[in-house]
């Protein structure tokens, strides 16, 4: 099996692929030992051309591949595109465009929100996916014939999935839904990693504004170090240590050395000194720049009841239109709607608002109700629930109508 390792081979293959209306693209990468993903192999296929590109081959210039990724005449087909697009953006500072994500398309077409690639291949192509090399080390050379066959198979299936999903999208007239999702995936802002925002990814709760200010500075420092040294964040400092330091706010090496989440000697190291500097910056931070702490207070019972009704409406809407509920709205978005009509969440924009958002607001205001009709949830006008039945949502007072 041919593996492209030379610049002339790559240029010739990309030239042929550039004449295709679409190309299926997949990548194999490693990132267990690095911050940035290490691109190890590129698989690409069109109706007339298939190519495996050894991105680790000495002296190989990937410019023809990156040029193909931004060729507006060629649609790029990915499955779960985000990490593939992230790799291209990191290496070449470009975003593949236009793109088609078969995972998102499958959700739009009603295959559910948890459909796997193997299940999609089975259902649409009636093929069994080879998983034997799924967890292989793609950075080791030489690659075996078995690895190359596995890698090429992934992109061959992807190439054959696209026309079938495209036909279903066109039949359901939901192509515009997918286009909105692709807009997010092709927005450079989606892939920008700002150290100052790194604290937002942390999951553990913080209790005081002072501790949050220190945590913000520590997370930003760790992010910059991890990016610069190209190592995983935990290699610099684990999350537990960040929270421990933020909570205790040590000012001296002795204080820092007393924390049990740090190894012996850390306090006297260069990183230890950098941590103490970050603590000082956090403690001196302008209080106006510290966001309010989310207390995680439970919703009042009446608001929780609204969320429960919205969940029922969401499931009914998703089932009626044959689309994954998760693609329409998240649980957090339903809670935001329950709290406020003026919230700005994705479900109240674009196709989601037309499909579900307007009905969700109407249900909350008592302008719609839910009922069981022939064993299914139906959305009706409150006065149409039935003789003597009470509306499922309170009607507006006359002076507000």
Query: Domains plus CATH for the chain?
Result: 7-191 (3.30.420.10), 195-289 (1.10.150.80), 301-400 (1.10.150)
Cα 13 from Cα 18, distance rounded (Å): 9
End-to-end CA distance of the chain: give it in Å, rounded: 72
- The predicted pLDDT at position 390 comes to 39
- The predicted pLDDT at position 228 comes to 96
User: Over 70: is that where the pLDDT of 149 sits?
Assistant: yes
Among 168-182, 225-239, 377-391, the minimum mean pLDDT is found in: 377-391
Mean pLDDT, all residues of the chain: 90
41 vs 394, which has greater pLDDT? 41
- The predicted pLDDT at position 293 comes to 81
Query: For the residues 237-260, what does the mean pLDDT come to?
Result: 95
User: How does pLDDT run across 369-382, given as a tens digit for each residue?
Assistant: 898 888 888 888 76
Other Cβ atoms less than 10 A from the Cβ of 33: the count is 11
Query: For the residues 316-331, what does the mean pLDDT come to?
Result: 90
Query: For the residues 285-298, what does the mean pLDDT come to?
Result: 82
Token digits for 54? Answer: 């050894």
Nearest to 78 by CA among 169, 137, 158: 158
Vertex 349, ends 348 and 353: CA angle to 5°? 60
Token digits for 256? Answer: 């820092």
Token digits for 246? Answer: 């933020």
Interaxial angle between packed helices 209-229 and 270-283, expressed in degrees from 0 to 180 and rounded to the nearest 10: 140
Percent of the chain with pLDDT over 90: 74
User: Over 70: is that where the pLDDT of 233 sits?
Assistant: yes
User: Over 70: is that where the pLDDT of 385 sits?
Assistant: no
- Buried b or exposed e, range 321-355, using 16+ CB within 10 angstroms: eebbbebbbeeebbbbbbeeeeeebebbebbbbeb
């Amino acid at each position: 099996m041919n593996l492209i390792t030379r610049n002339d081979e790559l240029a010739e293959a990309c030239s042929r692929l550039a004449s295709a209306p679409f190309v299926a693209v997949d990548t194999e990468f490693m990132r267990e030992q690095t911050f940035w993903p290490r691109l190890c192999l590129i698989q690409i296929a069109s109706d007339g051309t298939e190519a495996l590109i050894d991105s680790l081959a000495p002296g190989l210039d990937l410019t023809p591949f990156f040029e193909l990724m931004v060729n507006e005449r060629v649609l790029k087909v990915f499955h779960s595109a985000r990490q593939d697009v992230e790799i291209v953006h990191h290496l070449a500072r470009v975003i593949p465009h236009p793109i088609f994500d078969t995972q998102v398309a499958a959700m739009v077409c009603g295959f559910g929100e948890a459909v796997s690639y193997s299940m999609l291949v089975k259902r649409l192509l009636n093929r069994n996916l080879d998983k034997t090399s799924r967890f292989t080390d793609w950075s080791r050379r030489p690659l075996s014939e078995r690895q190359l066959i596995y890698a090429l198979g992934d992109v061959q299936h992807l190439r054959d999935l696209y026309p079938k999903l495209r036909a279903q999208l066109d039949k359901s007239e939901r192509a515009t839904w997918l286009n909105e999702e692709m807009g997010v995936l092709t927005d450079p802002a989606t892939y920008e990693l700002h150290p100052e925002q790194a604290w937002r990814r942390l999951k553990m709760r913080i209790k005081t504004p002072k501790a949050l200010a220190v945590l913000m500075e520590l997370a930003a420092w760790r992010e910059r170090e991890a990016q610069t040294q190209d190592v995983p964040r935990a290699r610099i400092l684990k999350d537990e240590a960040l929270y421990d330091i933020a909570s205790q706010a040590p000012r001296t090496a002795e204080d820092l050395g007393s924390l049990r989440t740090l190894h012996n000697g850390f306090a006297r190291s260069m990183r230890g000194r950098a941590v103490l500097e970050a603590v000082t910056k956090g403690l001196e931070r302008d209080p106006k720049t510290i966001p309010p702490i989310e207390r995680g207070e439970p919703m009042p019972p009446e608001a929780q009841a609204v969320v429960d009704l919205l969940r029922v409406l969401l499931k009914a809407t998703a089932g009626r239109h044959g689309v994954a509920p998760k693609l329409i709205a998240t649980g957090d978005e339903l809670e935001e709607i329950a709290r406020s009509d003026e919230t700005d969440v994705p479900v109240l924009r674009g196709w989601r608002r037309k499909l579900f958002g307007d009905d969700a607001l109407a249900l909350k205001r008592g302008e719609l109700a839910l009922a069981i009709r022939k064993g299914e949830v139906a959305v009706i006008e409150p006065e149409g629930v039935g003789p003597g039945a009470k509306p499922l949502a309170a009607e507006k007072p006359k002076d507000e109508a």
